[in-house]
Amino acid sequence: MSMKMEELLQLIDAVSESDLTELEYKDENAEISLKKKLQPIQSGQQIEEVSCTEEIVQQKAALNKNEADGSEKKKGKIVTAPLVGTFYAAPAEDEEPFVKVGERVEKGQIVAIIEAMKLMNEIESDFAGTVTEVFVENGQSVEYGQPLFAVG
């Protein structure tokens, strides 16, 4: 006797509602193997993700507030993050930053590094001018499109 479609659907429902992680069924006409893997959420990871999200929300709120009340200091063009990662202002911990406020930069000049997936990506200025403001700190997580520098 082979299993009918209705019976198969009932079996799938039963496995979905249970704590079973595997079920095998065999007869002369069919072979069925169902598995269910539960992925527990670790509370430490959840807290870390929430705090990271809160930090980004606070940064965006601060940027929006500065833009709304007209008190923003940034003048000129903005160099933004082309990818998500960790911002580094210098090539190494014990070295000077690529650029500082008040320094002149040329188009194509390396102004920072963003580490993403263990790869170091050099960030170049899209234009020439003087750095008027640095918006992020060394070692800070940045998201795509986030302002890094103002160049006037």
pLDDT at 143 over 60: yes
Say which residue, 60 or 68, is predicted with more confidence: 60
The closest of 91, 98, 87, 101 to 130, measured between CA atoms, is 101
Note the pLDDT tens digit of each residue in 104-139: 999 999 999 999 988 999 999 998 999 999 999 999
Q: What are the tokens at 48?
A: 């870390």
* pLDDT of the residue at 38: 55
The residues, any chain, with a CB within 8 Å of residue 52's CB and separated by 6 or more, are: 141
CATH number of 73-151: 2.40.50.100
Please give the average per-residue pLDDT across 50-64, as a whole number.
59
* pLDDT of the residue at 140: 94
Mean pLDDT of all residues belonging to the chain: 77
Say which residue, 92 or 18, is predicted with more confidence: 92
Say which residue, 10 or 124, is predicted with more confidence: 124
The residues, any chain, with a CB within 8 Å of residue 76's CB and separated by 6 or more, are: 129, 132, 150, 151, 152
pLDDT at 47 over 60: no
Q: How confident is the model at residue 68 (pLDDT cuts 50, 70, 90)?
A: low
Question: What is the full DSSP assignment across 118-150?
Answer: TEEEEEE-SS-EEEEEE-S-TT-EE-TT-EEEE
